[in-house]
Structure 1
């Protein structure tokens, strides 16, 4: 077996009411001051109430003005808002944007570098404050990764900052946090999580360790996403989605996403299409393009998720996975055309140029993409 590495959060609590474990963590860390990051919608709906209760008598400050899909300036604003305030613990309660911002704050506040420095060289980051991540969606996987994504408006795209210092110290996977999640958010974040596991399993950097999490995450997500979307009361399906999303995040730390995510970044950066939606639009088309280079891997994934299809050929199994991806996107009513978001044919040159620059992820793709290949994929979703 080739040498490989997997860096994951030190402690993970999962199960209904596991958010109550936060009080034990605070005591264990002897925290004297806490920063809670969230967004106003979650705060107003009471999703932070149990977290606040767990703080007990320990002073805390809530930062709830985080923006969705934050740009560099948004994160800098949050860092300035925190200022030099001494904190022993950061708790991120939210989706990927909240958790990414929380992780960035955890390595920047008190450090001798800033966010712009990390955009140039993320290797210099070092954890300054320990973190607890409490996801409120079932898809981003940010609670498991050493990644944080920020939009760069002047380039009309996004960039990932990657450093092991951003691996959360504690993770809380409490299904209560997604009990009332709107179906469209379950769909978008769920397909994002599905992209994580499929991309990681077919990545050039896939390893025996990342494969384990990617396959198990795929089983959970393929079998539960439609049920979680269609039945608001199915807490078991939602719980499986939450665990599957976490596994997808773990797989990212050992392998890495590929062309689906690479080509989606300009869609979020310029047109502000939600991350999960932009991935969903491209997902099946990118995998169809990749098929001749990873049919065996897609077939292995099919064997893990749908063992009843084991007698089918490699080609049939690969097609089955790709068709299931397209079916999930269709059945969860995610838009499949960029035209719905105001993208015009004249924008193709920008998209091709911006997408081709996402080399951090494109190098993971099992098949090299030429500029014409990228253009043809975008054309398919216009």
Structure 2
């Protein structure tokens, strides 16, 4: 684990508006900046309520964002973005919409292709358009980060782009926008937000400057997730989860996730399992596996979630599994339609995600990954 003296770079949007009823502040900010043409990137549901953003001028809406978007979905976005010639691009939705907005902001009108910008720091700047992010779920924290992911359908692998040029000029986090999120989705996305915090907290690159966001984000999920699942209109609980999601996003830039996300990604790319649901199912298995390498921090994580555990794998697994299962989350791969015959291919895919596995506090071999999938089946 990192010491206080280890160099670290902290990034976050230039302006963050947080609180119930803040969605309309985006339109006022955009007007003050003089933006006349705006492109909103969204799914069909959120496209039906863009009026809450109070945008002025010419507004073009792309409403075909798909869950776990692939390169074909991005190509559609870029075609609309190039035609709209927007001065401001807005991601309005979950992580998929916000990631596509990031990529559109740097690729529309650019000579660079997606494959030329994959990886860290390959985007040529400066960005030519403004970028705003408005999350409508509490999970990905994408509004705060500098990474975007799309799936390559040919390889079924996530293509990850990382660049400071994809950092939002403004993030508007209005918890009221999440009131309509169904209970099952609330549970899964809430565990995703918590997983960002936990994986950063127990990470090989963990740093005290990020730990404060990570452990507080975990506490917020422990305090408010069950409440929001039970009552979607609980404003305090929704605000707590929105803040936890933001904190998780703040962890991703300087530290990033680790083994949990690496094992969750093949569920989405191969079987189109929603990202939050995939992370929730995998979370107890990887947290328990990592316990010997991060015993003290794991115990702090479970305390933040309201559980007292011993410093052993079985105790941690039982408590973490109970936390997720009691939220009504499907905790078996078979229950999500993943066939047992695909576990080997999934293990190969996960083991190849070195950018995350190399962050894990305990080495995960290909055999370890296959064993976790078998246990989760």
Taking structure 2 as the reference length, what is the TM-score of the superposition? 0.93
Partners of 2:80 and 2:210 lie apart in 1 by 37
What's the counterpart of residue 267 of structure 1? Answer: 267
What's the counterpart of residue 103 of structure 2? Answer: 104
1:335 is paired with a residue of what secondary structure? coil
The CA deviation at 1:220 is: 0.7
2:134 is paired with a residue of what secondary structure? strand
Contact kept, 8 Å, 1:145 with 1:250, in 2: the verdict is yes
- Deviations 1:61-118 (Å, cap 9, x if unpaired)? 1111111111011101210122253221111110010011011101111222021222
What's the counterpart of residue 239 of structure 2? Answer: 239
The CA deviation at 1:351 is: 1.0
1:124 is paired with a residue of what secondary structure? coil
Does 2:317 correspond to 1:315?
no
2:84 is paired with a residue of what secondary structure? coil
Query: Runs of 4 or more off by more than 4 Å in structure 1?
Result: 302-306, 318-324
- Deviations 1:232-287 (Å, cap 9, x if unpaired)? 22110011000111100101112110011001111111111111111111110011
Distance change >3 Å, CA 206–CA 13, structure 1 → 2: same
What's the counterpart of residue 25 of structure 1? Answer: 29
The structure in which a higher percent of residues are helix is 1
Partners of 2:117 and 2:155 lie apart in 1 by 17
What's the counterpart of residue 187 of structure 1? Answer: 187
Contact kept, 8 Å, 2:330 with 2:336, in 1: the verdict is no
Partners of 2:142 and 2:315 lie apart in 1 by 28
Unaligned runs of 5+ in 1: none
Partners of 1:348 and 1:371 lie apart in 2 by 11
What's the counterpart of residue 83 of structure 1? Answer: 82
The CA deviation at 1:297 is: 1.5
Partners of 1:164 and 1:34 lie apart in 2 by 21
Distance change >3 Å, CA 319–CA 7, structure 1 → 2: farther
What's the counterpart of residue 339 of structure 1? Answer: 334
Does 2:360 correspond to 1:362?
no
Aligned length: 372
What's the counterpart of residue 52 of structure 2? Answer: 50
Give the CA RMSD over aligned residues: 1.9
Partners of 2:123 and 2:316 lie apart in 1 by 40
Unaligned runs of 5+ in 2: none
Contact kept, 8 Å, 2:133 with 2:168, in 1: the verdict is yes
What's the counterpart of residue 150 of structure 2? Answer: 150
Distance change >3 Å, CA 238–CA 313, structure 1 → 2: closer
Taking structure 1 as the reference length, what is the TM-score of the superposition? 0.92
Does 2:30 correspond to 1:35?
no
The CA deviation at 1:324 is: 4.2
